[in-house]
A and B are shown apart, each in its own frame.
Chain A
Amino acid sequence: MTTRTEKQEDSMSTATTPTRAPHSDVPTGHKEDRVGAGLFDPRQLVKSLPDAFRKLDPRVMIKSPVMFVVLVGSVLTTVFSFKDPGDWFGWTISAWLWLTVVFANLAEAVAEGRGKAQADTLRKAKTDTVARRLVGDTEERVPGTELRVGDLVVCEAGDVIPGDGDVVEGVASVDESAITGESAPVIRESGGDRSAVTGGTKVLSDRIVIKITTKPGETFIDRMINLVEGAARQKTPNEIALNILLASLTIVFLLACATLPPFADYAGTQLTMVVLIALLVCLIPTTIGALLSAIGIAGMDRLVQRNVLAMSGRAVEAAGDVSTLLLDKTGTITLGNRQAAEFVPVGDTTEADVADAAQLSSLADETPEGRSIVVLAKEKYGLRERHQDELFGAEWIEFTAQTRMSGVDVDGRKIRKGATASVISWVEEQGGTVAEDADEIADRISEAGGTPLLVAVDDEQGARVLGVIHLKDVVKDGMRERFEELRRMGIRTVMITGDNPLTAKAIAEEAGVDDFLAEATPEDKMALIKREQAGGKLVAMTGDGTNDAPALAQADVGVAMNTGTSAAKEAGNMVDLDSNPTKLIEIVEIGKQLLITRGALTTFSIANDVAKYFAIIPALFAAVYPGLNKLDIMGLASPDSAILSAVIFNALIIIALVPLSLKGVRYRPVSADRMLRRNLTIYGLGGLIAPFIGIKLIDLLISLIPGIG
């Protein structure tokens, strides 16, 4: 639908059935948790435990430098505890350090676990299929895995399509529920923008010949499985940068701890390795280090839950940076079907007369436009919808693409409604004349971006035009508010349409977009993207046609519709299984939410350290420098309990934040300033204060254990 030029001439809709019913997910104002994910189920933690232990493999752990340091620390404290088996403190610290590592792995395992269920259903669709390969005119049966790119295969009703490809012959209805979850079958036909079929989907009727376009193992369904399982996950640029920052902070704290023994020796106290390692683990940013990959996986997962497949994490991140959105008018901004908005009488007829005639003549018109006329007549003029069999002896003239008219002959009256040119010539054929203002009104409607349809009648007074029906492109509900939000987020929306500039302008104003590109050709669109990018902006767009492919590839975020051609799906870096272009806005929000969650937890993690120092430093040194007791503002029970409390808090906070890292920090479309103020208060200030309270509470509990307090 992207670049399909909207026909300006007043043809009514052609007879093709839409592949899928129009989506009803029009945004409705503010919903608090718009880009949140499903609820977090604590049982997932238990279920993912085995995976968490499996991830203790150092070769896996090394990928997260912060947690690797904790792992090494855990091993070392355990070794020291073995040397001094009577030291309960060493054993307890070791246990909690191990728990810290396991908790981190658990976070990742839970995040991955959510994708696994989806992957399993996909695998079922990928059962080994037998392909009916065409060699010349003969068919041979080969396993689906042996297909090569360019092979032709035949699929008939009941067959599972053996691989990704394009229909080159025939038309069939296909059940794609295996990938989209949508049970209604879709039409796939050779040529045009609906030729792509996906391996693993099922042909329900007819026979098609498919040209295989993807190697087995690299098909759409294979990639999807990899994606939802997180197997193909690669670190995104921001994640890498953050990892570098975290690694350097880890080194700083490693230095601060490693240089401490000579200082302490001089001060006259000996620090044990267990205590030093405990201090180190408390200081390095374990909270964010533990949750970083879970955040990334959960971000992808949130997209998957919205039936969007991102081919790379990079694209998800880029979505957060997008500053220009290219949106197609039809289907994205407008409902896609023109609808009757008004009946304009001509000459001395009344509006009610026009409405009556328009309704009668549209009863035989099953196109959405025809239906909308009947609906308008009912809603605005209270005309009850009459049924065709109510009127005896009526002869119904159905709408066809050739006549471009529909109508009825009843009681000696002939009523017609249709495209201006068709109706005018019909009136003239019947020997009538067309009033001048009919033309004027029609022109005015065209200029305002609408489509005029004429209503004419031939009765005892002769053939004449009664009035004009104003068909309008209807802007979806809530779009204006949505664009308003985007503007507040600093994102400019550009409407792309094949309409002429006048029409485009009218709709652009109504929808509240920032700019529009009228009479757009694929080349224009490409030029627009390049121009925006040259100014340093990141561009997102949707598309489905083969002629969209270059622009989809050029855009920083190119979302291909699943109904689109394989060329479009290949070119974009995301595929929307629902084929709903409005989803681009949600994708942007998910991208932003991903980055915000990382930043917020990093801030939280660093801010946490302050309290830990206030717990540990007096515990370590107050014995030699009693003045340092003044730093013990929490009034902790004993040095051992202070250190232990800090370590326990450090471990527990990871588990406590798993739901947040999976769900993402709440995101609302406000300006950067307000967002920063809010997040700084919650995660900066909160991160500063929370551990003081948490450590004190844990200390209170610990001090209840006899022999410690």
Chain B
Amino acid sequence: MGPVLAGVLQLLALIAALALACIPLGNYMAKVYSSDKHWRVEKWVYKGIGANPDTEMTWSAYLRGVLAFSAVGVLFLYLLMRLQGVLPGSLGFSSVDPAQSFNTAVSFVTNTNWQSYYGEQTMGHVVQTAGLAVQNFVSAAVGMAVAVALVRGFARSRTGALGNFWSDLVRGTLRILVPAAAIAAIVLVACGVIQNFSGIHEVGQFMGGSQQWNGGAVASQEAIKEVGTNGGGYFNANSAHPFENPTPFTNLFEIFLILVIPFSLTRTFGVMVGSVRQGYAILATMFTIWLSFVALMMWTEFAHHGPAFQAAGGAYEGKEVRFGVGASSIFAVSTTLTSTGAVDSFHSSFTGLGGGITMLGMMLGEIAPGGVGSGLYGMLIMAVIAVFIAGLMVGRTPEYLGKKIGTREIKLAACYLLITPALVLVFTAVSMALPTPPHSMLNSGAHGFSEVLYAFTSASNNNGSAFAGLNANTDWFNTMTGLAMLLGRFLPMVFVLALAGSLAEQKPVPVTAGTLRTEKPLFTGLLVGAIVVITGLTYFPALALGPLAEGLAS
């Protein structure tokens, strides 16, 4: 079997698995967020944090919950790392320095999982398990909660209430992420991923010399790393490391885990707004973009010219031979189109255009299918923008899901639209303009520029993957990517929740023959077009000077 065929077959198997999982999981999640019963363990949690899970919150109360919870998370994680040296169970690692602690704390709370450190050489068991792993769960649950609040904004009428943040957070964690991660971890362990608390082993190498191997609770962290679209690896090599991702099957399974919740949330959305077809339209939009990106990526990686590539059967540099070019391409696209950022191959070693595809994937705003929760709300914002322009073209005040897209709604959506491009471009430009930061680049020319552009694209979009080569562990990059992550995560949430509040207050507009049908393929096409054109126009000059200059050179 040729490598191309193998890649395509893996892709088909993945699509089939996702198709099977989407509806039941989506329905289940809709039930979780709509149920009025509390589990006993949840009641303990509510008692513990002193929250009343039954009070309905306005958008501002909901936002205060999100921000307060996240602020506490950042602070706790920061202190944990700063105090690692004096805490037990730290494998003898010292405390992490302030800039890196800030960066890492923000990174995990924002569901970015950008890592400017080497996991196995910096973080002990306590930080990994009590700090990072916990945030892997709750940061994902926060994203889902915000998405659900926006969905309620569409579904509800004449009310300011968007649900209860604490209840959404706890349920998302306990009823969705924990069970899913548990099942995933068991599968991963069964397939050879390690799960222990053993320390560091000195191992002799075949060629002489010795190597240090860490043990750790890897399978459990790996599971939530993918399910929660986090992406922060236990080891620096991330999912390319054989302890994290030993076989082609685990590789495919991990891609499945990355995609399953973001895709299924479209079903949840459809069920909650009372029209599963609306959910399918959003799903179709996400899927179209994702599949086109996979196809493009496979095409550039397999078909790349040059004698070395042709001898190897594709662009093999930086990719694991056990996965191959096809599976690595699927992984790279899936991890950059979600806000995951886990990698099983080095994006900087992809062909010039391939690297560009990973960047463009993030630049779309992580919406196809995007991070858990954040993908859905990002896509819905784009839908609002597309509906506005298209709605005018059918001669009515634009409306989406029975809600009018008026001045206030478009103001909030436009603000959302502005944030990430502003962060990416301004941070990159400042970094390029200052004398010192460019020293972090490993390469010169267009590739070097791509390293910096990739870093801020990844941070601002809360992806977390890195274009290897850039030394990001400097005060400048630790601080600036940290700020990019913070602003890139929470500013959009402010506008999403405000929009949700504004939508929930409206009375619904009945559907007539004059209404723009947002569940039809035509709208899906329009939405895909709008996303690609708007993103393309924003980033075209920057991309031209990085990956395009490199990719078109040969």
Q: Give B49 Cβ to nearest chain A Cβ, in Å.
A: 38
- Please state if B426 and A255 are interface contacts (CB–CB under 8 Å): yes
Contact with B along A598-631 (1 / 0, CB 8 A): 1110110011011001000100010011111011
The yes or no answer to A266 lying at the interface (CB within 8 A) is yes
- Please state if A675 and B394 are interface contacts (CB–CB under 8 Å): yes
Given contacts A266-B432, A536-B508, A625-B446, contact A321 B396 (CB under 8 A): yes
Given contacts A536-B507, A625-B549, A680-B390, contact A672 B513 (CB under 8 A): yes
Residue in contact with B552 in the complex, picked from A253, A534, A627, CB distance below 8 Å: A627
* Segment from B59-67, B261-269, B515-523 that makes contact with A: B515-523
Q: How far is the CA of A247 from the CA of B449 in the complex (A)?
A: 29
- Please state if A596 and B392 are interface contacts (CB–CB under 8 Å): yes
- Please state if A251 and B395 are interface contacts (CB–CB under 8 Å): no
For A247, the closest partner residue in chain B by CB is B414
- Please state if A595 and B395 are interface contacts (CB–CB under 8 Å): yes
- Please state if B538 and A252 are interface contacts (CB–CB under 8 Å): yes
Q: How far is the CA of A170 from the CA of B465 in the complex (A)?
A: 87
* Contact residues in A for B478 (Cβ distance below 8 Å): none
* Contact residues in B for A116 (Cβ distance below 8 Å): none
For B352, the closest partner residue in chain A by CB is A627
The yes or no answer to A563 lying at the interface (CB within 8 A) is no
Given contacts A607-B533, A626-B553, contact A260 B541 (CB under 8 A): yes
Cβ contacts A to B, 26 pairs, < 8 Å: A237-B397, A241-B407, A241-B409, A242-B392, A248-B415, A252-B417, A255-B422, A255-B538, A259-B542, A260-B429, A260-B541, A262-B433, A264-B545, A266-B448, A267-B446, A320-B395, A320-B397, A323-B512, A491-B514, A592-B396, A595-B393, A613-B537, A627-B553, A673-B522, A676-B522, A680-B390
Given contacts A253-B537, A255-B422, A627-B552, contact A240 B407 (CB under 8 A): yes
Contact with B along A560-596 (1 / 0, CB 8 A): 0000000000000000000000000000000111011
Residue in contact with A628 in the complex, picked from B397, B538, B544, CB distance below 8 Å: B544
* Segment from A223-231, A344-352, A482-490 that makes contact with B: A482-490
Contact with B along A267-284 (1 / 0, CB 8 A): 100000000000100010
- Please state if A256 and B405 are interface contacts (CB–CB under 8 Å): no
Contact with A along B382-400 (1 / 0, CB 8 A): 0001001111111111100
Given contacts A488-B513, A489-B514, A673-B517, contact A267 B549 (CB under 8 A): yes
For B414, the closest partner residue in chain A by CB is A248
A-B contact count (CB 8 A): 224
The yes or no answer to A245 lying at the interface (CB within 8 A) is yes
* Contact residues in A for B541 (Cβ distance below 8 Å): 256-257, 260, 263, 279, 613, 617
Q: How far is the CA of A242 from the CA of B407 in the complex (A)?
A: 8
* Contact residues in B for A600 (Cβ distance below 8 Å): 392-393
* Contact residues in A for B24 (Cβ distance below 8 Å): none
Residue in contact with A255 in the complex, picked from B421, B433, B449, CB distance below 8 Å: B421
* Contact residues in B for A247 (Cβ distance below 8 Å): 414
- Please state if A595 and B529 are interface contacts (CB–CB under 8 Å): no
* Contact residues in A for B516 (Cβ distance below 8 Å): 672, 676
Cβ < 8 Å to A, chain B residues 519-549: 520, 522-523, 526, 529, 533-534, 536-542, 544-545, 548-549
Q: Give B453 Cβ to nearest chain A Cβ, in Å.
A: 8
Q: How far is the CA of A610 from the CA of B530 in the complex (A)?
A: 12
For B396, the closest partner residue in chain A by CB is A321
Given contacts A599-B392, A676-B394, contact A671 B513 (CB under 8 A): yes
A side interface size, CB within 8 A:
77
Q: Give B103 Cβ to nearest chain A Cβ, in Å.
A: 23
For A600, the closest partner residue in chain B by CB is B393
Chain B residues engaging chain A, CB cutoff 8 angstroms: 385, 388-398, 402, 405-407, 409-411, 414-415, 417-418, 421-422, 425-426, 428-430, 432-433, 438, 446, 448-449, 507-510, 512-517, 520, 522-523, 526, 529, 533-534, 536-542, 544-545, 548-554
Contact with B along A213-241 (1 / 0, CB 8 A): 00000000000000000000000011011
Contact with B along A490-512 (1 / 0, CB 8 A): 11100000000000000000000
Given contacts A252-B421, A595-B396, A621-B544, contact A602 B552 (CB under 8 A): no
The yes or no answer to A317 lying at the interface (CB within 8 A) is yes
- Please state if A263 and B542 are interface contacts (CB–CB under 8 Å): yes
Residue in contact with B513 in the complex, picked from A242, A490, A535, A602, CB distance below 8 Å: A490
- Please state if B514 and A593 are interface contacts (CB–CB under 8 Å): no
Q: Would you call the interface of chain B mostly helix, strand, loop, or mixed?
A: helix
- Please state if B395 and A593 are interface contacts (CB–CB under 8 Å): yes
Q: How far is the CA of A680 from the CA of B550 in the complex (A)?
A: 34
Q: How far is the CA of A238 from the CA of B510 in the complex (A)?
A: 19
For B523, the closest partner residue in chain A by CB is A676
The yes or no answer to A683 lying at the interface (CB within 8 A) is yes
Q: Give A82 Cβ to nearest chain B Cβ, in Å.
A: 27
- Please state if B418 and A252 are interface contacts (CB–CB under 8 Å): yes
Q: Give A130 Cβ to nearest chain B Cβ, in Å.
A: 47
Given contacts A238-B392, A241-B407, contact A256 B449 (CB under 8 A): no
* Contact residues in B for A266 (Cβ distance below 8 Å): 432, 438, 448-449, 545
For B392, the closest partner residue in chain A by CB is A599
* Contact residues in B for A675 (Cβ distance below 8 Å): 393-395
Q: Give A139 Cβ to nearest chain B Cβ, in Å.
A: 53
Q: How far is the CA of A427 from the CA of B251 in the complex (A)?
A: 102
- Please state if B533 and A244 are interface contacts (CB–CB under 8 Å): no
* Contact residues in A for B537 (Cβ distance below 8 Å): 252-253, 256, 283, 606, 609-610, 613
Given contacts A248-B414, A255-B421, A536-B402, contact A598 B513 (CB under 8 A): no
Contact with B along A675-697 (1 / 0, CB 8 A): 11101100110000000000000
* Contact residues in B for A321 (Cβ distance below 8 Å): 396-397
Q: Give A679 Cβ to nearest chain B Cβ, in Å.
A: 4
